[in-house]
Amino acid sequence: MRMTKTLTLLVAVLSAPAYAVTDQERSVLQRLNAELEAITKIIDEAQQAANPHDRKLVDYQRLTADLQKIQQGIVDAANTVRREPRSLPPIEGDYR
């Protein structure tokens, strides 16, 4: 009986969603967003340096679009007091 109550309590605690974004989490998400901004600049440099006559080309537009979707999700999470489940657009993932 005691084991059942303990197990029930444990399941209830672990299954309860944590909606609040802590200050520490927000700080890390903001740092992650800054890193993604730096990566965006590197992608722009790579796009400018790309040889348009190569056999295999990187789809920089798709890569940038996917990165922007990820960044928007991070910004939304960092700026939201409560995170509600939502449907996100899929990222492409194939850049060749």
Q: Is residue 90 one of the residues assigned to a domain?
A: no
Which amino acid appears at position 59 of this protein?
Answer: D
Provide the greatest CA pair distance for the chain.
72
Question: Is the confidence at residue 71, as pLDDT, over 90?
Answer: yes
Q: Which domain holds residue 13?
A: 2-79
Place of tokens 């899929």: 90
Question: Is the confidence at residue 17, as pLDDT, over 70?
Answer: no
Q: Is residue 88 one of the residues assigned to a domain?
A: no
0.75 exceeded by pTM: no
> Residue 95: which of 43, 50, 60, 53 has the closest Cα?
60
* Segment holding 20, helix H or strand E: none
Residue 33: predicted pLDDT? 94
Q: Is residue 64 one of the residues assigned to a domain?
A: yes
